[in-house]
Each structure stands twice: as C-alpha cells, then as structure tokens.
A = this chain, B = another copy of it.
Amino acid sequence: MKIGNFVSFRDVKLEDGFWQKKYDLNKNVSIFSVRDRFEETARFDAMRFNYLKTGKKPHIFYDSDVAKWVEGVAYIMEHDRESMKENEKLIDEMVDAMAEAQREDGYLNSYHQQIEPEKIFKIRTNHELYCCGHFIEAAIAYHHATGKRKLLDIMEKYVDCIIRAFVTEKTADFATPGHEEIELALYKLYRYTGEKKYADLAKHFLTRRGVAEEDRGYYDLKHSYATQDNADIYSLREAVGHSVRALYLYSAITDLLQEEGDVRLKSSLDSVWRDIVDGKMYITGGVGSTHRYEGFTLPYDLPNMGAYSESCCAIAFIMWAMRMRVVERNAEYGHVIERIAYNNLISPVSLDGKGFFYENPLEIAKEDYGREVACTPENREHLPIRQRVEVFHCSCCPPNINRWFAEMAEVACFDEDITYIEQYISCTANGKYGAIRIKENYAVDGKAEISSVNYTAGKIAVRIPEWCTTYTAVLNGNRVNGASEKGYAYFEVDEKFTLSLDFNIAPIFISANANVRANAGRVALCYGPLVYCLEGVDNGDRLNKISVDVDELSDAKIYSDFHGFNSIEMRGYRDEDNGKLYFNAKEKRTKEVTLKFIPYYAFANRGDTDMLVWVREK
C-alpha cells in the first residue's frame, strides 16, 4: 500500500532561501556545537565504553543521543563529505570502540554493559531497544554516506541478538519496547538490506504491543508515564501517553500498513490522526500539552503557558505525516508538515544555531516565575525555561534537530504518477520524472515558482496551502486554472515550463475552537505558514494587558526587517493600571499602542522577555 515516494533528500539540492540558511546553520554551527557539548558531557565517552576510565556514568539514553548526531553527520556527508571530516574520524574511532565492546552475542548498550549488565533486557522502561533503533538509523545513514559497513554490521549483529531475546529464545523479561523507535528503524533496515527478518521483528513488536502477557506488569503504567499499551494497533482510537513515543509508534504502524496494506491499520491511524489534528495540536503544530508525562491529554486541552510541545515531537509528527502521505494522496499531510516546519520545528533552535528549547510554550509571563516565593525546589511548579540552552540532561532534542535539518529537504516533492510539490522550499529536486526547480520567498511574499530543469511527466501537482483562500497560477506567462482535488491543483506542463504561483499571502487573525478554554476570546496572528507572537522586548511585558481589534488588521504595516522575514505592526490596546485591585468595569481604561508581532519561531532571541501567541480580542 504505497502510492509513491518522497524524493530523497539525497536528490534534493537546497538553493538560496530560508531553508538553505537553516540547513547551513545546522551544518556549520549546530552539529559542531552539539558535538562539543556531547563530548563535555561524556556522551561520546559512553560509546567509547570509557566509564571505568573516566568515572562518568552513562545514562540509559546516551546511545540514542549520540546515534542521532551520527545520523545527522552522515546526512550532511551525502552532499559535502569534506565538511564532516573531523566528525567522520570521531565516528570511526567510536565505532571501533563499539565493535570491541559489543558482546559475543551481539548485545550493545553503553549503559547496561558498563553499569547494570545484570539488568539487560530485564526492565522495559530502560530504553535499550530505543537506543538500538536510533543506532540502526545511524548505521544505515553512515553506510550510505561513506560505504563503511562496520557500524551497520554491528547493528545487524545486535538485531540478531534482539531477535533471539524477544522472539526465538524469549529470554527477555518483557515483550515490547518501553520507548518506541526501533520499530520504524527496523523497517528502514529491512528496506535498506532487503532482509525480511527485520520487518518481521518490527511487526512482532508492533502486534505484541498492548496484548503481550509479558508486558502485563507494565500495564498499570499504561495510565502512567508513557507507554502506548492502551489498545492493540488495530484498535487505536485516540492519541495517548508520551507523545514522541506515540508518534514513533504511529510512524512504524504506517510502515507496516505500507508493507502489508491491512486496511484496519489505516482506520486506526486515521482515527488517531483526526484526534490529534482536530483537537490536540497547537497552532504551531506542537503536540503533547503536559509536562507531566510529556504527552497527550484530552482534546482541546491546549494550555499556552505550560504547552510542553516537545521539540522531538515536531520531528516525529513530520515523520509520521510523511508516511501517511505515502499511503494517501491528501494535501492535509503537507498542511500539517508546513505548520510544524515553520513553527514548532524551528522554534527550538536559537537564531545563532547553538541554543535549543526542549519545550516550546506559546506564552511566557516572567511574572509567573518564582511567584510561589516560599516553595522548596522539589515543590516548585513546573515552568519551561525562558532562554535556550546548548545541552540538557535529557538532550534528545538537539541531535534530533541535527539529523532532521540534514534530511528535511525530503519533504519538498512527492513522486506518484506525477510529481507533487508538497512544500515550497527553494531547491532543485531530481525525481522519478526528471528535475524540477522550486524558487520561493514563500513565507514573506506567499509566492513560489516551479520550473522544469527537465521534466517528463506531462503533469504536475502543487499543494494549495491551507491558509490560502485564492491563488493565481501563471504557466509560461499565461494565467491558468488548475483542476483541484484534495488540496492539490493539477497543471498540464511541457518538458520545459515555468509555473508561477501567488497564494495571496496576508496577515490574518485565527480563532481556536470554542472548546479550547485557553484561547477563549483570543486570536493568533498568522501570516502564511508562520504563526506570529508578541514579545515584551517590543511591546512591554505583561502582554495580557494587550488586546486587539481584529478589524484593524487591515491597517497593519508589514516590514521585511526580521532576519529576512516580516514583522507586522498594528494598533493595539493596553489596559491601564488605575491602582485599584477591583473597580467598576465602566471605569476601565485602555490606551492605544502600536504592537509589533514577530514570527513565533524566533521568540526568546533578544533577551529574557515575555511572549504571547494568543492575544485578547478587544
């Protein structure tokens, strides 16, 4: 059940534009900065099995942190191996150490081998299979980029060990991973090597979830931290639990659907998709609204201040949406990818490429920090950090971002019977039907130009953005109307063509569903794919004093002054403090102010200041 494929990022060359800048920042700054922080925090040492030497204890998830970084390096090598020379050396030496440390039976985990060997495959929540999954992805990427088999061999040997422990000999004390990820990695390995046993193991893990007797002991955790054990994969109805794990699971289920075409799986996945997209997704594309178990709560529960909206979710959600697109021709998947890409995916990274957010709140009010003056540290309420940092104790997000930016050009084009332009990203893409060029300044002027380098399909489809109400298309200088279906417009084209699209971008205020309590009486300013926000540095702190009249947006001024993107100015109103705690509502006064909105993703790059996405309607 596959209707096509995304054009591999290996066949997409980013060209001058926003996304190339983001790509370069990752390649030139972030990947090195993350490496240095990982070196300092003994993450590489963990994989060098240096614990006895350094005394620095590995953590149960260190392998996965390193693996994601390796994967990112490998993807960058595909286009510029030279730039990663230093990193390649580091990786090769580390892989040598891993080969030496790998047990006779294939087992390989820096934490368990060095710290708790007696607990290997005994504790479901200990992330062993998750770590393995990430190293499988890294091994594939590294082999493809360098031709070096060593890491891939290590991981194939490890997977054989896992097959014995979980399938043939069943020596493991649990049946399915506490943290999903290996499932989708195994499908990747299967597709890369052609070895059916990897797909079989993935399916084994997927189909045992929620039903395996061996996991029963963990089932009382099903309403606790994390695991998606509430239903078997054929009966999913809603998104629950830890959201990164959930989205990796849904991705792997979609892989299984792609392989075997079982329509029950499509129905499961469709239910979960709707549950998220219709009620559990922030306007930024973020998901997972509670910090308590980093996860999904109930529909419409989308608090702004405490929005967890983990950076890893942005990536996992795009990964799933891409897989869904592979089984269904529907522009909605591209809409969601665009929403995430321009907001929750890029808000984690500082404009200088070094700092990262793990949580991506939609509101910061400094007044709330330390309000509980008499709290002990253990007793304090959870509030997200207000400035990005270079490394976390649990630093899953930074290397995930490293690898994702290195491969995300893959979201641009989808090859079916024709090419679908899924995302407007300046690039040249070499697909099944030849090469196409996309040129855009999409998030600034709402325009994109698609042209052939050489293109043979005779037809092309473009995704009409969700925010676009009317557009114009000009083909080789002539206004044309494309036939529309499921969010795509179709155009007949020659081998040589230029299609200019203007989606009539304009600022717009968005309301949320009446059930979203946090946004009652509030609006969010959007401009094309970008969600905007107010920051204290421009508008004064205590941003909830501010209200807007949505009808006055027509007078807004747009300045292309913000790191190549637009800032938007409009009239607003600020409640005045009359010194009284309570007073007759008729005495309430506001004063006119000029508001400056900036793209949400760029918040917290100009010092410690308040931020607000959902602004009160006057």
Contact = CB atoms under 8 A, between A and B. Distances in A.
B576 A514 contact: yes
Contacts of A580: 513
Given A381-B292, A521-B547, A226 B510 contact: no
Nearest to A521: B616
A95 interface: no
A365 to B, nearest CB: 6
- One complex includes copies of this chain to the number of 2
**Chain A interface mostly:** loop
Interface stretch (A58-66, A197-205, A295-303, A312-320): A295-303
Contacts of A225: 374, 376, 379
Given A300-B367, A367-B298, A374 B582 contact: no
Which of the listed residues A225, A515, A576 has the most CB atoms from chain B within 10 Å of its own CB? A515
A281 B582 CA distance: 10
B283 A582 contact: yes
Contacts of A295: 374
Interface string A169-185: 00000000000000000
A544 interface: yes
Interface in A575-598: 575-588
Interface string A241-278: 11000000000000000000000000000000000011
B301 A367 contact: yes
A224 B514 contact: no
Given A223-B375, A372-B292, A581-B512, A545 B520 contact: yes
A542 interface: yes
Contacts of A367: 298, 300-301, 517
A99 interface: no
Given A367-B298, A509-B585, A583-B510, A224 B374 contact: yes
A279 interface: yes
A575 B523 CA distance: 13
A290 interface: yes
Contacts of A33: none
Contacts of A542: 514-515, 517
A511 interface: yes
Given A511-B587, A513-B577, A515-B542, 11 more contacts: A224-B379, A290-B372, A292-B372, A292-B380, A297-B371, A298-B367, A367-B517, A513-B578, A513-B582, A520-B544, A524-B582
25 contacts: A224-B375, A226-B374, A240-B374, A242-B374, A279-B581, A283-B582, A292-B379, A293-B372, A293-B375, A293-B379, A296-B374, A298-B367, A298-B370, A511-B583, A511-B588, A512-B581, A513-B579, A513-B581, A514-B576, A514-B577, A515-B545, A520-B544, A520-B545, A520-B616, A521-B547
